[in-house]
Structure 1
Amino acid sequence: MIAIKHLLFTGVDHHDSDSLCRMSTSANRRPIKKQIFGPDFSVDNTWAQLSRNIREIQHNNAHNLSFEENHRYGYNMVLNRQGPTLYNGLKELVKEHLDELANSHIIPAFPVNAEQQTHEGEVLLKALRKVWDDHTSSMTKIGQILKYMDRVYVKPNNLPETWDLGLELFIRHIIQRDRIQNVLIAAILNQVRYEREGLVVNQAAVQSCVDVFLRLRINDVTLYKRELEPILLEHTMAFYQEEGKTLAQTCDAPQFLQKVERRFEEEDLRAHHYLSSQTAPAITHILKDHLLTPHLSEVISKPGSGLDIMIDTDKIRDMERLYQLYTSVPTGLVVLKRALRDSITRRGKAINDYTLGIDAGDGVEQAEDTKGKGKAKAPVNSLTPATEWVQRVLELKDRFDHVWRNAFKTDHDVEVAINEAFESFINLNDKSSEFLSLFIDDHLRRGLKGKTETEIASVLDKTITIFRYVTEKDVFERYYKSHLSKRLLQSRSVSEDAEREMLGRLKIECGYQFTQKLEGMFNDIRLSADAMESYHKHLAKTTPPEVAISVIVMTSTYWPISHNASPCNVPPLLAKSCQSFELFYLSRHSGRRLTWQYGLGNADIRARFKSKTHDLNVSTFALLILLLFEDLGDNDFLTYSEIKEGTAISDHELKRHLQSLACAKYKILKKHPSGREVNDDDSFSFNNDFTSSLQKIKIATISSKIETTQERKETRDRIDEERKHQACIVRIMKDRKHMAHVDLVNEAIRQLVSRFNPEPVLIKRRIENLIEREYLERCEDRKSYNYLVGCFLSDFSRFLTTLTGMSNAINLHICTNIIASLDRLTFISPSQYTILMCNTRLYHTHAVFRRQERLYIHRQLFILRFKCILELETYLRVTIMT
């Protein structure tokens, strides 16, 4: 029995009492005699003895008590229907004991004043924990001896069991007694505040007290959740509201972010270590709402330390911290994206202003010289704005890409904001397309020399990066085509592989149609080389002309050149060579017409001066000018008007080439009077005193690589005229048949935006033009349109039937021309249909053709009629005639 008593009253938890009793009893293995209660049972005596023993348990004197004896007391009282007496008596005993504990341990530990000191608060919290431990220990032992009461009396009457009763009474007589709860909560809050302010507190004491609040419940809600947490969160909110204001005023941006980040870490540790993990989300929410969110814009834009300075000084860790904090709050990413856009746009506008300031003069430059020994270097001043603008934009892009990858964790939303900002300021520069094309031109001419394939690919990729931001890609295409044509005609490309690699990248970005003409230019160069090889073989069999020429045959639709050649008087020897090639070429390509573009050519000549003979490479026009001085004496001169009359070159071209010969670095001619500008009253003489250490000299033509304001306006007008708004509108209406005005305009914009930014006003103007030409009709509601082209197909089909019936009387050449003309039309309007009918009847003849020719006509007409039956415009090539 002594062993049993020792095991039972050592303060074990009440939940393990059953197993402990069973283990102890089975180990003793003594048979328990059944007690028989007779009429001598006394409630008063039994309760007196049991109550005395319960008090001993409450005062930690249970080591001399017998578990079996006390259990029997409780058992007998319940068995004799004294359960209420036993239960109520226990309740009173517990109340008395708790009141005693409150008066003796807790109230004396109250702090002296409201502003509790760290130590005083700690004493109070420890006192509460001691009272709690004593109470729970005694209630555990009491629950063991009154287990029969809990099972037989308490549960059937829906009363709290012994343990639960003890918790309820603890709440009423300890926590809710007088001011104890308020003082306890204030002590806990003060300990938390002290630690937030940097003081050291006894976290274990706070945790032990919080644990009491967590284990006590009212209406199934913990006392912590009901009483402590709301006040804790309220004080936390007030604390961090004030701290947020203080930090924003006294700290720079990196310091603010560091302290806020540390607060997040500290509060998370605090909640999980000695408060409650269930409070952590609420405290984190307070930190976000009151410490961070109100100061997002202020911190990120702080002068001298905000985002701009972090980017400039490459403070990746600070920006990473900023990103992590800002993305943790709903509005943070919005503020970050706006700040990034503003930063990029501001820097981009500065680049635009600086570069355009350099280019403000719209000056001209001398075209670059060819590479190699003995070639003079050309000035590159007017190319500087273009290359510098692109280089600065690329450096800016590299910087923000570095930040995006390392600080902003390749966030997609941040990437979109960065791209939007770059697109915005790049397209604010109306020269961006031209500058980008000039940058590529400069690299493909000389900038890629000596670079590895990896380095070349890197340069091309960077240019494509900027190209993606250019909205008016058709403007870029026009400039790129112009610069490419000069590289190809002058054989100035560093690498044909690099040229084709660039074309491949452009094709990936914009599709086959974007590069179709560019690839056609390369194809012309290749075919021209083959043609010249055949021409030289041909000359080997005949008497060659005195002047050897090399010809590039250009398809007029591919190359950005005027269809009307610049006029000039060609010397007979050169004209004879041109005629020789033309006769050879046309003999192999019937039906073609050659137009000589002398303004795009160049010539190698040998000029004798007093000191030395030099080999000069000059343009064809410069050659014509120099030939006028061939038979003149040293003191003879020609006036500007005489040179113009002798060469028949236009004023603009003549002045450019005279500047190149008389006003540039190599003065082959002397201008009278001297100066850089050529005037109508100037005169020129051959500079026989010219000297140079170089044997071979390239006389570069004065030209403006960057367009002047007037040239740019003319380019813009041509581009606006070439934009195929109508083709897009017809394609849409052909597919939809009927469409509202707003839907048609929006769909046209959606389809055209990949090449340029279409203006709704222009689209509306094109729609009106299509209505006038009977391709569309406006509906009665004046807000929608119908597609009209299909209604003429049946009439045209009947016409083809008639045409097929008279095929044996139609000239083969005329039939082929009709089919070719139809193939060039996107659709047949009523007026076009009438003209075609009349022309076909005029071509009617009674000529008789061979059988194979008639079969060819039948076959072509059958194909044409088949196309019309299946709706003609589905099979014909789309080319809108504007």
Structure 2
Amino acid sequence: MNDRRPIELETGWSYMENGIKKLKRLLEEEDEQQFSAEQYMQMYTTIYNMCTQKPPHDYSEALYDRYKQAFSLYIDEKVLPSLRDHRDEFLLRELLKRWNNHKVMVRWLSRFFNYLDRYYIQRHSLHSLQDVGLMRFRDEVYVEMKKKAKDAILALVEMERDGEQIDRTLLKNVLGIFIEVGMGSMDTYDADFEAYLLAESAAYYQRKAAAWIQEDSCPDYMLKAEECLKAEEERVVHYLHVTTKAKLLRAVETELLAKYETRLLEKEHSGAAALLRDDKKDDLARMYRLFLRIVKGLDPVADVFKRHVESEGMKLVREVTEAAAAKKEKDAGKLSRDTGSAHEQQFVRAVIDLHDKYMQYVADCFSNSSLFHKALKEAFESFCNKQVAGSSSAELMANFCDNLLKKGSLEKLSDEAVEETLEKVVKLLAYISDKDLFAEFYRKKLARRLLFDKSASDDHERSILARLKQQCGAQFTSKMEGMVNDLQLAREKQQQFDDWKQAGEKELPIELSVNVLTTGFWPTYKAVDLALPREMVEGVEQFKEWYEGTTKHRKLTWIYALGNCSLKANFDVRPVELILSTFQAALLLLFNNEGGADETLTYADVKERLNLPDEDVMRLLHSLACAKYKVLLKEPNTKTIGKSDSFRMNTKFTDRLRRIKIPLPPVDEKKKVIEDVDKDRRYAIDAAIVRTMKSRKVLQHQQLMLEVVGQLQRMFQPDFRLIKKRIEDLIQRDYLERDKDNANQYRYLA
């Protein structure tokens, strides 16, 4: 049975007040002893007893109210008066001190009144003692002081921006109050401080930017902008809340970068174009870093980059075109074998160097951004598809590769350098729209290198084909790979033929080497029925006998125009070894008969005995009688061949070299290549149209055009007029028909 007398409210509270006064004296740093364990227990027990008494002596509700009042009383007596006396940084220091004291007071009082938390507050779903204590400070101190505190903080932030040292720890701790009074929400921090910070920051940088844009160069302005952004990021680290970072940086970026981007990039002597012109890579990298921060900020930078690269490329095109024109004018009237070729070689090399340079820019300055890769691609596509000195880039690149891969190349490069250069040329090919034209020119050159043993290295030949295959697909290189493999097989066949001759003891009056080629892989060559000299006939017959004995259902077609011979010519002064085409050798051997050195043959005699057309006879006679090495003497002694001319051996011919090569006048193969490519394109367009219509059955004109272009543009840029023409042709040939009700729609006819 409990016979304890109840504690009256005023009696108990009087005792509690003494404890609260002691706590206040401690907070005010007056001369006072700390609470002993016994005093603490007495305070706790008093509250406990007053809350556990039977009604009407259960004073839980009254004590909850008086707990609140204890804070309000202290705030009115001590806290607010001390704060109202301070300004600026001193106010912040006092506010922080009062806040820390308040938290100590909450901690102690909530311990004394702890029993309320455990039972009364839970039962009645009220705010906890901790929350009530914080709410007293929020409602009575923070609400009154937040504007002054905010103004003081912003003033210090501006001082720091202007280069003064401030107490960052103080700011961090005071801003902690703005966050803590939100009691788990960032609303008070956002509304009472952050919104003002963002507005002030925007205004501050608006003033700075307006001054800097007038007086600073683009690099100087960017340097300042970057330093400011870095300083703002540090500000967040040291005293602002992390959620402020993105918003603050956005505000600063808007004022410093977004609003002035156009003016910055277009500054006359220091904008983006000037930085590219002067190779200011560090400044360009800074420009990239800065404008990466703003939405679509890099688009104008990429556009300037594209225009600059395009301009550099067009300058190369103009230089080479002008140099070739000047050389052509200088060589007018002379027989120039390869006008402008050196300049054109230099052009491809210059384009490679230009590509290397700006690929390095994309990597070093623009972080390999896809936007800048695209700008570089578009710039190179623009000038790489222009005519250069009357030639397409496709032809020039094929010629460049030929020069690189043949023996006696003008560019003396190591194997590694050749491989590296080939890789770069193949990369450039990606920018060429007429890849099929490159393929045809390259195939012609490859054929000459292989057939005339001009290729410097099989490894390099296979290496570039592997790169081309990777870049353009297997179909692109299938014929070229077939050509290289043919030559390998031809060597094996030659060995088999030699073994067959040896086994059958079949001797030939001449040494004979034959390359057997597969028709489908090689360019088309004109087969001329040359009347072979008797010295050669026996070798051809023997090879046919052996070949027909080892293979079935295969027909040999002899392409004498591609053959070459080595003849020993016994002139009066001394013998000279002549390296000739089969045609030239056959012509000279006409003079190697009983008539002796004095025999004279007319133009008609030569034509009849060789069984060749005029075009070939003219070229042969010109090379032997009118060019550098005059092995034949001509009557009359003019520089052109006439059908009434007569010829005899120049027995007095001599040269300082014991072995000389007599070239035929060059034939312009360009026209033939372009004709072949045009023909192949017509077939490709027909195939694409039929393939598309077969799968779709019915299609609108515009859709068909787009699908055909999509299929073909990897190899060439098809002409819309040509596609239209091919559609009409296929309609006539009953592959397609126009819809009866809609002329703009086609149907596939199976």
Which category of TM-score, normalised to the shorter sequence, fits these structures?
0.7 to 0.9
Change (3 A) 1:206 1:407: same
Deviation at 1:486, TM superposition (A): 1.3
Aligned to 2:341: 383
Change (3 A) 1:82 1:522: closer
Give distance in 2, aligned partners of 1:81 and 1:540: 131
* From 743, 747, 768, the counterpart of 2:707: 747
Aligned to 1:198: 163
Q: In the alignment, does 2:495 pair up with 1:518?
A: no
Query: Aligned pairs, how many?
Result: 729
Give distance in 2, aligned partners of 1:598 and 1:45: 129
Deviation at 1:773, TM superposition (A): 1.8
**Does the aligned pair in 1 maintain the 2:532–2:610 contact within 8 Å?**
no
Q: What are the Cα deviations for residues 644-683 of structure 1, in whole angstroms up to 9, with x where unaligned? A: 8997866765666666557765565789999998899999
- The residue type paired with residue 176 of structure 1 is V
Aligned to 2:685: 725
Change (3 A) 1:216 1:659: farther
Aligned to 2:90: 123
Change (3 A) 1:169 1:511: closer
Question: Map of 1:475-494 to 2, 5 A cutoff?
Answer: 475-494=437-456
Change (3 A) 1:695 1:139: same
Deviation at 1:230, TM superposition (A): 0.8
Give distance in 2, aligned partners of 1:237 and 1:271: 16
- The residue type paired with residue 36 of structure 1 is R
**Does the aligned pair in 2 maintain the 1:364–1:703 contact within 8 Å?**
no
- The residue type paired with residue 384 of structure 1 is A
- The residue type paired with residue 563 of structure 1 is K
Change (3 A) 1:664 1:409: farther
Aligned to 1:772: 732
Deviation at 1:266, TM superposition (A): 2.5
Give distance in 1, aligned partners of 2:401 and 2:184: 77
* From 438, 450, 460, the counterpart of 1:498: 460
Deviation at 1:173, TM superposition (A): 3.9
Give distance in 2, aligned partners of 1:535 and 1:149: 114
Q: What are the Cα deviations for residues 626-660 of structure 1, in whole angstroms up to 9, with x where unaligned? A: 67889999999999999889978667656666665
**Does the aligned pair in 2 maintain the 1:670–1:684 contact within 8 Å?**
yes
Q: In the alignment, does 2:33 pair up with 1:63?
A: yes
Q: Secondary structure at the match of 2:165?
A: coil
Change (3 A) 1:255 1:691: farther
- The residue type paired with residue 387 of structure 1 is Q
Aligned to 2:403: 442
Give distance in 2, aligned partners of 1:270 and 1:340: 34
Question: Map of 1:353-432 to 2, 5 A cutoff?
Answer: 353-360=318-325, 382-411=340-369, 414-429=372-387, 431-432=392-393
Deviation at 1:583, TM superposition (A): 6.3
**Does the aligned pair in 2 maintain the 1:122–1:206 contact within 8 Å?**
no
Q: What are the Cα deviations for residues 726-754 of structure 1, in whole angstroms up to 9, with x where unaligned? A: 22333344444444444443333333333
Aligned to 2:246: 281
Q: Secondary structure at the match of 2:448?
A: helix
Question: Map of 1:391-790 to 2, 5 A cutoff?
Answer: 391-411=349-369, 414-429=372-387, 431-446=392-407, 454-522=416-484, 524-525=486-487, 529=491, 550-563=513-526, 565=528, 570=531, 572-573=533-534, 576=537, 580=541, 584=545, 588=549, 597-607=559-569, 612-623=574-585, 660=623, 666=629, 692-703=655-666, 707=670, 714=675, 717-721=678-682, 723-782=683-742, 783-789=744-750
Q: In the alignment, does 2:75 pair up with 1:98?
A: yes
Deviation at 1:271, TM superposition (A): 1.4
Q: Secondary structure at the match of 2:345?
A: helix
Give distance in 2, aligned partners of 1:54 and 1:364: 107
Aligned to 1:17: none
Q: In the alignment, does 2:13 pair up with 1:36?
A: no
- The residue type paired with residue 457 of structure 2 is S
TM-score by length of 2: 0.79
Q: What are the Cα deviations for residues 220-239 of structure 1, in whole angstroms up to 9, with x where unaligned? A: 55532220111011112223
Deviation at 1:132, TM superposition (A): 2.4
Change (3 A) 1:134 1:477: closer
Give distance in 1, aligned partners of 2:478 and 2:80: 98
**Does the aligned pair in 1 maintain the 2:436–2:715 contact within 8 Å?**
yes
Q: What are the Cα deviations for residues 746-777 of structure 1, in whole angstroms up to 9, with x where unaligned? A: 33333333322233433333232222222333
Change (3 A) 1:279 1:670: farther
Aligned to 1:822: none
Deviation at 1:100, TM superposition (A): 4.7
Range moving further from structure 2, 747-756 or 555-564: 555-564
**Does the aligned pair in 2 maintain the 1:545–1:576 contact within 8 Å?**
no
**Does the aligned pair in 1 maintain the 2:26–2:34 contact within 8 Å?**
no
**Does the aligned pair in 2 maintain the 1:777–1:788 contact within 8 Å?**
yes
* From 142, 155, 162, the counterpart of 1:175: 142
Q: What are the Cα deviations for residues 54-80 of structure 1, in whole angstroms up to 9, with x where unaligned? A: 764664445388556666776787764
Aligned to 1:134: 101
Aligned to 1:227: 192
- The residue type paired with residue 167 of structure 2 is N
**Does the aligned pair in 1 maintain the 2:692–2:704 contact within 8 Å?**
yes
Percentage identity across aligned positions?
28
Give distance in 2, aligned partners of 1:521 and 1:275: 72
Deviation at 1:135, TM superposition (A): 3.5
- The residue type paired with residue 440 of structure 1 is C
**Does the aligned pair in 2 maintain the 1:364–1:382 contact within 8 Å?**
no
**Does the aligned pair in 2 maintain the 1:612–1:691 contact within 8 Å?**
yes
- The residue type paired with residue 206 of structure 1 is L
Change (3 A) 1:44 1:97: closer
**Does the aligned pair in 2 maintain the 1:214–1:224 contact within 8 Å?**
yes
Deviation at 1:517, TM superposition (A): 3.2
- The residue type paired with residue 405 of structure 2 is L
Deviation at 1:215, TM superposition (A): 1.8
TM-score by length of 1: 0.69
**Does the aligned pair in 1 maintain the 2:9–2:59 contact within 8 Å?**
no
Deviation at 1:296, TM superposition (A): 4.8
Gaps of 5+ in 1: 1-32, 111-120, 367-377, 790-882
- The residue type paired with residue 701 of structure 1 is L
Change (3 A) 1:502 1:147: closer
Q: Secondary structure at the match of 2:243?
A: helix
Aligned to 1:818: none
- The residue type paired with residue 5 of structure 2 is I
Gaps of 5+ in 2: none
Aligned to 1:375: none
Tell me: higher relative CO, structure 1 or 2? Use CA pairs within 8 A at least 6 residues apart. Answer: 1
Give distance in 1, aligned partners of 2:674 and 2:660: 35
Q: Secondary structure at the match of 1:494?
A: coil
**Does the aligned pair in 1 maintain the 2:44–2:112 contact within 8 Å?**
yes
Change (3 A) 1:519 1:145: closer
Q: What are the Cα deviations for residues 560-608 of structure 1, in whole angstroms up to 9, with x where unaligned? A: 244353x87x575467558746864786578776665444333333446
**Does the aligned pair in 2 maintain the 1:423–1:470 contact within 8 Å?**
yes
